[in-house]
Every structure is written in structure tokens, then in C-alpha cells.
Structure 1
């Protein structure tokens, strides 16, 4: 399996883990020193990322998150950058809700395992 195929599989696994709504499923895929930039602010380190993601899980019930149009901007043996469009749907405050936006991720290989180092989601 070539590197881009392995990276695409990582992103698919990340998407599936997100849709299980259990941060315990996502944590092994995220670097301890990661940074996530969301619409509501920046979150540095795994504990801050956990709090932000769990807040999203609690706010958007039954969320379905999809990644579309994945493009690899840069790929090297231990670092990769991708961009994509995302969509989400679920229930917020008892009402159906949905949205979409753009994502950029920096993925690094540490101790032989790919980890999300940076995620930037915007509308």
C-alpha cells in the first residue's frame, strides 16, 4: 500500500472514530501536543482538544460527520498536509441542524504511527 493510500485510510479511520462520538476512539489518533482551530476558538494540547470535541458531541446529538474531496497538499515520509470539505448533520436543541465547511490537517508520524497534529475547520 502506498503512502497516500495509507494516509487516506488514516483520514477515513479518523472520520469513522468521530462518528462514534467517543473521544476515547479519537484520542489515539491525535498528537498529545496537537492544536485544533475551530469556529469557537483554538485548543492546544490533548486535554483542551478533548474538552472542545466533547462539547461538540454534547451539543450536536446524533452527529454524522463526513469528509469530502480529500486532497493531499504535501506528503513526506513523516509529515502530510491535506485539505477537504466537510459536512455535518445532527440535532441541536431538539431541532435538525446541519452545516458544512473546509478543513486543513497536518498529520505527523511519531514512533511509527500517524497522528493528527493540527486541524483547522472553518466555514
Structure 2
């Protein structure tokens, strides 16, 4: 799987609402910067995802306008607009924001998400 495919796999995994699927594409030492919190451990990242899925029911997450701004044999960085929709307190809601993702190629040749920064 190349770096573009791992981004696609990450989006698909996110939409399963099962963190066990998401963590398959995460680097062991992944770091997330969200608008309201930074998560530096796997447990913090899991809790953030699971809280988001609990808060926004049936959420669908998408990446649009993806731009790969730096790619070499060990790393790939992309920017995109994230879009979400789902049900918040029983009402349909949607939103969007900006994302930066950093992918690293591990020793075994697999690409993993090392860092994600989301902001409104």
C-alpha cells in the first residue's frame, strides 16, 4: 500500500467507527492535534475518536481537495479539507475544517500515519 492508499484506508477505517480499524494505520508514536486537545498516547487518541463517534452519531468523514505537499521515499505530507456529517443530539449536522497528515514509511515498508492536525 502506498502513501495515497494509506490515506484512503485511514478514511475508510475512520468511518467504521471502530478504533481497532483506525489503529491499524497509525504509527506506534502517533500524535494528534485537534482544535481543542492534543493527544500523544494511543489511549488518548482512542478516547478522542470514541467520544467523537458517541457525540456525532452515524458520522461520515471525508477528505476533499487533497494536496500532497511533500513526498520522498520515507515520508509524505498532505493537506486537505475534512468534511463530516452525522447526527448531533438527534439533529442532522455537518461541518468542515483543515487537516494536515504526516505519513512515515516504517522499517517493514508499510506507510503509517504519524501525525494529524485538524482545525476548524
By the TM > 0.5 criterion, same fold? yes
- In the other structure, the counterpart of 2:88 is 92
Query: Does the 8 Å CA contact 1:31/1:46 hold for their aligned counterparts?
Result: no
SS, match of residue 2 in structure 2: helix
Equivalent in 35, 39, 44 of residue 35 of structure 2: 39
Q: How many residues align?
A: 119
Counterpart check, 1:116 vs 2:102 = no
Gaps (5+ residues) in structure 2?
Answer: none
Gaps (5+ residues) in structure 1?
Answer: none
Query: Does the 8 Å CA contact 1:87/1:100 hold for their aligned counterparts?
Result: yes
Alpha-carbon distance in structure 1 between the residues aligned to 2:59 and 2:67? 24
Query: Does the 8 Å CA contact 2:2/2:111 hold for their aligned counterparts?
Result: no
- In the other structure, the counterpart of 1:76 is 72
CA RMSD of superposed structures (Å): 1.2
Counterpart check, 1:62 vs 2:62 = no
Q: Please report how far the alpha carbon of residue 101 of structure 1 lies from its aligned counterpart in structure 2 after TM superposition.
A: 0.6
Query: Does the 8 Å CA contact 1:31/1:116 hold for their aligned counterparts?
Result: yes
SS, match of residue 121 in structure 1: strand
Alpha-carbon distance in structure 2 between the residues aligned to 1:119 and 1:78? 17
Q: Please report how far the alpha carbon of residue 28 of structure 1 lies from its aligned counterpart in structure 2 after TM superposition.
A: 1.0
Query: Does the 8 Å CA contact 1:30/1:46 hold for their aligned counterparts?
Result: no
